[in-house]
Chain A
Amino acid sequence: MLRFRNPGTQFETQLLAFRQVYSALGEQAIFGLEDIAKALATNGLMTAYGYAGNDALQLSKTEQESKNSTLMNAKMYAEVFRMLGWVTPATANSSYPLAFTYIGAHIALSDDDCSKLYEQCVLGINNPTEFSGKMHYEEKTRFFTSALKSLVSLDGVMYKHELCLGPMSVDDQDKAKYQTMLKRIRNLRGNYERLKVAFEKLANNLGMKTTPVDNCTRLPIALMKHCNWIQKVTNSTLYNKSMVCLQITEHGKEIVKQTSQMKDLRLDEFQKYDKKKQCALIRLGIYSMLERAGYDISEVSTVIAQDKKLCADVLKGQEILFSPYQTIRRFLIEEALGIHFGTAQVSEANNNDTNTKTQTQHSNQIHIFSPANYSSTQKGASDREETELRNEILKLHKNGYSSKAIVKHLMEKYEDATQKEFYPLIATIFRILGFSCSYSRPGDNGARWDAIIDHSESSIPIEIKSPTEERHISIKAIRQALENKIILLSRRTHITQPSTSSLAVGYFLPNERAEVDSLIDAIHKTYGYNIGVFGFSTLLDLAVTCVTQDKTLKFAALSAVRGVINENI
């Protein structure tokens, strides 16, 4: 099956980014990912951790290339530009560095939005090409004409998974295979379970999970939508179930009609011709793309007429459908057109050298497990919930469980806890730690916080996310912790100070650690408030220490925490 990666699918952003890169680097540039990153970041078209310009470039320097957000962003753009034939590998043997193409120059220098040339570039995507040696798929197809043709054959409507099972997995010029594919899809229809099983089987055969296979449809759907070939519709008849499907538009049908009357030239056939004919086919391919996209190419009409004459036996009176830059390497194309891109000196950055990289720390890790933060002060009387949890911890401890094992046991016990169970539990743990903590009933809109540590001077509101609400604490909880702080200061239901922390507690610590860290940092710099974040295991760890060592946590250890509280003791 064809694997379309999932880079940015917004046409306008792609166009703006490409024009920016072209203008910044110059048409003769030979460039790499760092050059693209720099051109985009310095013009505010790419950010890293929310920062733009040089800040973005500095922030994203990291040891691992896959974690370098600006480089990965640049790679995403480069892949789209290359797929559309706007840039091409500059050398004969490797994917990078890149050079601009003649089609790319038209995209960059046109006054209008280039949507028609973009459409031609989408039609130009085909496989195999001279660059597709490393691909994990072998289908021989011009996917988009094949997909549109399939839509017409399948009553104008397809579900996205049918794209994977159909036109993404078939050699479109093999008539027998193509008809079998259509028949197979028709046979799947009427029963959603059949489709589901077929899709799972496909993913299994590809050695992939179903989600990444599903993701492979995002780019082609976005491209087809942008070209106004398809629209999304809700359909209940295909699989007797309401599903968002893809319906071919009138313009899409028009494209099927036009392309079916064209000479669709692919790599294997192209390679059979002699060089003279190949050059003529290259010129015809490029000029016909431009002409269909609305460019006035009358200046080269004599050349076109001569080339058509030379290639009459290939074309047989048909218009050519062939995008050279999306099929072959640039050298013969440039020779055929009498142009030359990529004459500039190779810059050092083109090798994607990462020797100046430094690791950037984003996390505000707080350690509150220092012995100095504990007090030997005995707690007062315990309530029933507190006693039960204490007894459970003590029992496990007596049975030889280590602290780590007790935490693990309790983590597993509460992994499916709902708000109703989890909120009181968190309040109980804070009481075990030595604080006067009560929870708000879920749905009680009067108390915005989910629990609160009541203190004579510095009460602390707590935002809680149960594992059934969100597994990993997110920026949503941080925002709510900020709101809790403001409400408490405004409504004064409990006494507090601006400098006292507001807490967010979740089952796991944030997945997007950098986002949460940067938000906590921004909140502190902007409003002056401290937001502290606890994972459930951290709280349990503290509780186990307090119960087994008969201690409590000092209020000062908690009252001004800011950032993600480190789990590692």
Chain B
Amino acid sequence: MKIFKSRNTANSFFLLKDEPQAIIFDKSSKPLWLLKDGSKHNTTCLHCTEKYCLQFSPLEIQPPLKNFPTLPIKEVCPSGALKWDDKRQCPTVDSQKCIQCGFCVKRCPAKAIYFQNGIHVSMETNNINVYQNSGRENDSELHDKQMAYLKSLPFQALNISEYSSVIREIYGKLIHADSSVRELFVRNLLIILGIPTSLRRTGDVYTRMDAIYKIGSKVGPLEIEFGQDTLSASRRILDDIAILHTRYKLDKMIQLPLVVCLTLPNARQGYWQVIRDIKKVEKISISTITVGVLLIFLWHAEKLNINIDDYYIDYDNMSMRAVAESQLKIKIPIAEGFLGLLEPQK
């Protein structure tokens, strides 16, 4: 029986003539490849076979826990704004749908996707530093090597001079997004930060946590709370811990429960005290982190090394500014209380 091969996976990739030494980001222009001879060339899409900007590999979306009912979505773009254009053979961005999270920017090895008043894809068919694969035997191997090399280049801070305005814009879009987009947004953000995360399969009412994630050998339940009902998140997470404890044989004391929220609850909200009560009575520390802080890590960090354990905050200390700044080794240029990113708004 003949099973045909998809033309979509045919070898239509591009190769670099010279591998760049570095990628230069400039606010006023497209990203540039800096070659060994000192010349600079615009980056351009290499039509890589793996399509890193569009899809996670099966390994990247493998559930961190055996038998966890996982939603097996491969897409990197949570809002479906980034699609592959068959005619032009490159990714295209639907600016109406784009949240401007920068996941695709971060994932593109060639840095052909970039921020500049929105997300853009550099597609230059006449770029003098690239040539099209001509089907020679070692082209595929060379392409893989070049991709690995590009991915190994030091990551530089993206072209975002003003975190606050970009985060405000992204938050504005996330608030109005479907819950499925929000959940995918958080999952993808964590995966790109190097934290394996799986969303629960839709409709599995007996496994109620939004997601699970893994750091080192530790697994934890994850609740995603984009509204004001953070108290419900702390309740849900106790339920999640019990499910993992009883059905997945993960002792409650070794779990890493985490609430990812858009905005920290206000100081007067019951959440903070309840988190402290749970720690006092159950000795379980529920960490809390905002999407904004995770985005700052995504955009800024040269090497990503988030220790979720450090993000335990409660009624006695409701700010994550100190720990985030110490991990990022920068002073975060965001005003106190701004959108409840680092400390409660009020």
Contact code string B191-214 (vs A, CB < 8 Å = 1, else 0):
000000000011111111000000
Segment from A78-86, A108-116, A555-563 that makes contact with B: A108-116
Q: B204: which of A47, A102, A490 is its contact (CB, 8 Å)?
A: A47
Q: How far is the CB of A376 from chain B (nearest CB, A)?
A: 38
Contact code string A511-537 (vs B, CB < 8 Å = 1, else 0):
010010011011101110000000000
Answer yes or no: B3 CB below 8 A from chain A CBs. yes
Do the beta carbons of B207 and A50 come within 8 Å of each other? yes
Q: How far is the CB of B155 from chain A (nearest CB, A)?
A: 27
Q: How far is the CB of A178 from chain B (nearest CB, A)?
A: 31
Do the beta carbons of B246 and A521 come within 8 Å of each other? yes
Do the beta carbons of A44 and B69 come within 8 Å of each other? yes
| Residues of B with C-beta under 8 A to A452 | none
Do the beta carbons of B202 and A13 come within 8 Å of each other? yes
| Residues of A with C-beta under 8 A to B1 | 102, 105, 339
Compute how far the CA of A479 lies from the CA of B239 in the bound complex, rounded to whole angstroms: 7
Answer yes or no: A53 CB below 8 A from chain B CBs. yes
Residue of B nearest to A518 (CB): B206
Do the beta carbons of A515 and B205 come within 8 Å of each other? yes
Q: How far is the CB of A530 from chain B (nearest CB, A)?
A: 14
Residue of A nearest to B65 (CB): A44
Contact code string A50-76 (vs B, CB < 8 Å = 1, else 0):
111100000000000000000000000
Indicate the member of B66, B67, B278 with the most A CB atoms within 10 Å: B67
Answer yes or no: A299 CB below 8 A from chain B CBs. yes
Q: How far is the CB of B239 from chain A (nearest CB, A)?
A: 5
Residue of A nearest to B2 (CB): A299
Compute how far the CA of A525 lies from the CA of B247 in the bound complex, rounded to whole angstroms: 10
| Residues of B with C-beta under 8 A to A109 | 3
Do the beta carbons of A522 and B245 come within 8 Å of each other? yes
| Residues of B with C-beta under 8 A to A52 | 67-69, 247
Within 8 A of A (CB), among B256-314: 270, 274, 276-278, 280-282
Q: A50-B243, A479-B238, A526-B252 are in contact. Are A16 and B72 (CB under 8 A)?
A: yes
Residue of A nearest to B234 (CB): A483
| Residues of B with C-beta under 8 A to A290 | 4
Do the beta carbons of A527 and B235 come within 8 Å of each other? no
Answer yes or no: B330 CB below 8 A from chain A CBs. no
Answer yes or no: B55 CB below 8 A from chain A CBs. yes
Q: How far is the CB of A288 from chain B (nearest CB, A)?
A: 12
Do the beta carbons of B10 and A525 come within 8 Å of each other? no
Do the beta carbons of A479 and B68 come within 8 Å of each other? no
Q: A483: which of B71, B80, B274, B280 is its contact (CB, 8 Å)?
A: B274
Do the beta carbons of B71 and A296 come within 8 Å of each other? no
| Residues of A with C-beta under 8 A to B70 | 44
| Residues of B with C-beta under 8 A to A296 | 4-7, 10
Within 8 A of A (CB), among B183-241: 201-208, 232, 234-236, 238-239, 241
Answer yes or no: A448 CB below 8 A from chain B CBs. yes
Answer yes or no: B36 CB below 8 A from chain A CBs. no
Q: A297: which of B4, B63, B252 is its contact (CB, 8 Å)?
A: B4
Indicate the member of A106, A296, A339, A521 with the most B CB atoms within 10 Å: A296
| Residues of B with C-beta under 8 A to A522 | 239, 242-243, 245-247
Answer yes or no: A191 CB below 8 A from chain B CBs. no
Interface of A is mostly: helix
Q: How far is the CB of B203 from chain A (nearest CB, A)?
A: 6
Indicate the member of A111, A300, A486, A487 with the most B CB atoms within 10 Å: A486
Answer yes or no: A445 CB below 8 A from chain B CBs. yes
| Residues of B with C-beta under 8 A to A10 | 71, 201-202
Answer yes or no: A482 CB below 8 A from chain B CBs. yes
| Residues of A with C-beta under 8 A to B245 | 522, 525-526
Answer yes or no: B83 CB below 8 A from chain A CBs. yes
Q: B71: which of A13, A300, A479, A490 is its contact (CB, 8 Å)?
A: A13
Answer yes or no: A4 CB below 8 A from chain B CBs. no
Answer yes or no: B126 CB below 8 A from chain A CBs. no
Answer yes or no: B9 CB below 8 A from chain A CBs. yes
* Chain B residues touching A, range: 35 or more
| Residues of B with C-beta under 8 A to A111 | 6, 9
Do the beta carbons of B281 and A293 come within 8 Å of each other? no
* Chain A residues touching B, range: 35 or more
Answer yes or no: A566 CB below 8 A from chain B CBs. no
Q: How far is the CB of B238 from chain A (nearest CB, A)?
A: 6
Do the beta carbons of B242 and A525 come within 8 Å of each other? yes
Answer yes or no: A401 CB below 8 A from chain B CBs. no
| Residues of A with C-beta under 8 A to B10 | 296
| Residues of A with C-beta under 8 A to B39 | none
Q: How far is the CB of A201 from chain B (nearest CB, A)?
A: 32
Q: A47-B206, A519-B242, A525-B242 are in contact. Are A293 and B67 (CB under 8 A)?
A: no
Do the beta carbons of B2 and A293 come within 8 Å of each other? no
Q: A112: which of B6, B66, B282 is its contact (CB, 8 Å)?
A: B6
Q: How far is the CB of B132 from chain A (nearest CB, A)?
A: 18
Do the beta carbons of A486 and B281 come within 8 Å of each other? yes
Compute how far the CA of A346 lies from the CA of B236 in the bound complex, rounded to whole angstroms: 45
Do the beta carbons of B236 and A479 come within 8 Å of each other? yes
Q: How far is the CB of A152 from chain B (nearest CB, A)?
A: 20
Q: B4: which of A46, A106, A339, A518 is its contact (CB, 8 Å)?
A: A106
Answer yes or no: A331 CB below 8 A from chain B CBs. no
| Residues of B with C-beta under 8 A to A47 | 67, 69, 204, 206-207
Q: How far is the CB of A299 from chain B (nearest CB, A)?
A: 7
Compute how far the CA of A510 lies from the CA of B278 in the bound complex, rounded to whole angstroms: 26
Q: A10-B202, A50-B207, A297-B4 are in contact. Are A526 and B246 (CB under 8 A)?
A: yes
| Residues of A with C-beta under 8 A to B252 | 526-527
Compute how far the CA of A448 lies from the CA of B278 in the bound complex, rounded to whole angstroms: 14
| Residues of A with C-beta under 8 A to B63 | 44
| Residues of B with C-beta under 8 A to A12 | 71-74
| Residues of A with C-beta under 8 A to B86 | 294
Within 8 A of B (CB), among A342-381: none
Answer yes or no: B138 CB below 8 A from chain A CBs. no
Do the beta carbons of B239 and A475 come within 8 Å of each other? yes
Within 8 A of A (CB), among B4-44: 4-10
Residue of B nearest to A480 (CB): B235
Q: How far is the CB of B209 from chain A (nearest CB, A)?
A: 11
| Residues of A with C-beta under 8 A to B242 | 519, 522-523, 525-527
Answer yes or no: A295 CB below 8 A from chain B CBs. yes
Do the beta carbons of B83 and A228 come within 8 Å of each other? yes
Do the beta carbons of B206 and A490 come within 8 Å of each other? no
Compute how far the CA of A384 lies from the CA of B145 in the bound complex, rounded to whole angstroms: 84
| Residues of B with C-beta under 8 A to A46 | 69
Residue of B nearest to A487 (CB): B277
| Residues of A with C-beta under 8 A to B280 | 490
Do the beta carbons of A295 and B6 come within 8 Å of each other? yes
Q: List 5 A-B contacts (CB under 8 A).
A: A228-B80, A295-B6, A299-B2, A515-B205, A526-B241
Q: B residues near A, CB below 8 A?
A: 1-10, 55, 63, 66-74, 80, 83, 86, 201-208, 232, 234-236, 238-239, 241-243, 245-247, 252, 270, 274, 276-278, 280-282
Given contacts A50-B243, A111-B6, A290-B4, 17 further A-B contacts (CB under 8 A): A13-B72, A44-B66, A45-B69, A48-B206, A52-B69, A106-B4, A228-B83, A295-B5, A476-B235, A483-B238, A483-B274, A486-B277, A515-B206, A521-B246, A525-B242, A526-B245, A526-B246
9 nearest A-B residue pairs (beta carbon): A50-B206, A52-B67, A44-B67, A490-B277, A522-B242, A479-B235, A526-B242, A295-B4, A526-B245
